[in-house]
Amino acid sequence: MSILVDNDSPKVDDRDGMNAAAARPRIGLHTGIAGGLHNALLKARSLGADAVQIFSRNPRGWKARPLEPEEVEQFKRVRAETGVRPVAVHANYLINLAAADQTVREKSVASFREEVERGLALGADYLVVHPGSARGACESDAIRTCAESLKAACDGLELGTFRILLENTAGQGECIGHRFEHLREIREQCPELNLGVCLDTAHAFTAGYDIRDADGLAAALDALDTNVNLGNVLAVHFNDSKAAYDSRVDRHWHIGHGHIGAEALGRVASHPRLAHAAFLLETPSDETCDDACNLEVLRSFVKTT
């Protein structure tokens, strides 16, 4: 499908205040930081990626080694050399901003503040976080707790152009964020943070947004737009799903090898209403397909626009 770009054309979809058809999306992947944070940028560049997502520290531990000034400087220098953008940091997995348990919540707020500070120090563009789990509390309480935690964590910090992105979840267990309405409510309860959104295709699919055909995708994008405005959807986690539709199970899979499938994912990657977002793979790397192979499939999808 080819879309002619003509600023005077009424056919160009400009509902989100931008000429979304004017560009192909930037594409990239989540990659490791073994041997130094800057290695993620070098890996992205070696694969021909535009963008990258990293953990800035061990994602499964509360304690993070502080960033040394030299590694921050090296990261910024390599970033300038490679031109990789946007750089997204994914917050660690222990953080639960919606926790009903006071101790867990306090640790989460402190850890998330540290994630924000590290992201700012590195000059990253985005910090992606899951809204959390409502264990022991009702959904509306969990949403309120999440918004309060975000505000507490960012209190007194100057975010500038740095954006925190709420990621939609698969809805495993008692996680909030699997309905776009949850993201809307969290955003509305802390307007001063100007929260963005990260759409994970595998999570949306297993949470009950059936994006397998064009009508289903259009409906999902309408729902997303109504709730958070597509202009705020700054990243797409581009994953196929090993788990079935509406299963509420979170299992990322190789592009085109899962239950969403190549045709449907091709439609997502070439959709003009998402062309402003950065598409980031979070797919496995194994004998079926590695990072280079999944990125090649994604590249082939965006080339068709």
Q: Report if residue 114 touches Zn ion, rule: CB under 5 A.
A: no
Catalytic residue, from 50, 115, 125, 167: name it.
167
Which residue number, 82 or 254, has a Cβ lying nearer to Zn ion? 254
In the residue annotation, 282 being an active-site residue is answered as yes
Considering all CA atoms of the chain, what is the largest pairwise distance in Å, rounded to the nearest integer? 56
User: Minimum CB separation from Zn ion for residue 203, in Å?
Assistant: 6
By CB atoms closer than 10 A (0-12, 13-18, 19+), residue 273 is buried
Which residue number, 237 or 254, has a Cβ lying nearer to Zn ion? 237
What are the C-alpha distances in Å from 197 to residues 130, 180, 205, 288? 10, 10, 16, 30
In the residue annotation, 93 being an active-site residue is answered as yes
In the residue annotation, 90 being an active-site residue is answered as yes
In 3D space, the residue among 237, 179, 230 whose CA is nearest the CA of residue 207 turns out to be 179
Whole-angstrom distance, CA of residue 128 vs CA of residue 166? 6
Among the listed ranges 20-28, 56-64, 100-108, 230-238, the one in contact with Zn ion (CB under 5 A) is: 230-238
In the residue annotation, 30 being an active-site residue is answered as no
Catalytic residue, from 130, 178, 254, 259: name it.
130
What are the C-alpha distances in Å from 94 to residues 125, 133, 140, 302? 22, 11, 21, 34
In the residue annotation, 271 being an active-site residue is answered as no
User: Minimum CB separation from Zn ion for residue 128, in Å?
Assistant: 6
Q: Report if residue 237 touches Zn ion, rule: CB under 5 A.
A: yes
Among the listed ranges 38-46, 142-150, 204-212, 277-285, the one in contact with Zn ion (CB under 5 A) is: 277-285
The footprint of Zn ion on residues 193-212 (CB under 5 A) is 200
In the residue annotation, 126 being an active-site residue is answered as no
Catalytic residue, from 26, 90, 118, 273: name it.
90
Whole-angstrom distance, CA of residue 115 vs CA of residue 122? 11
User: Minimum CB separation from Zn ion for residue 2, in Å?
Assistant: 30
Tell me the H-state helices in the chain.
Answer: 38-46, 69-82, 102-122, 139-154, 180-189, 201-206, 214-228, 262-269, 291-303
Q: Which two tokens stand for residue 57?
A: 């520290």
Q: Report if residue 30 touches Zn ion, rule: CB under 5 A.
A: no
User: Minimum CB separation from Zn ion for residue 90, in Å?
Assistant: 6
Contact set with Zn ion (CB under 5 A): 167, 200, 237, 282
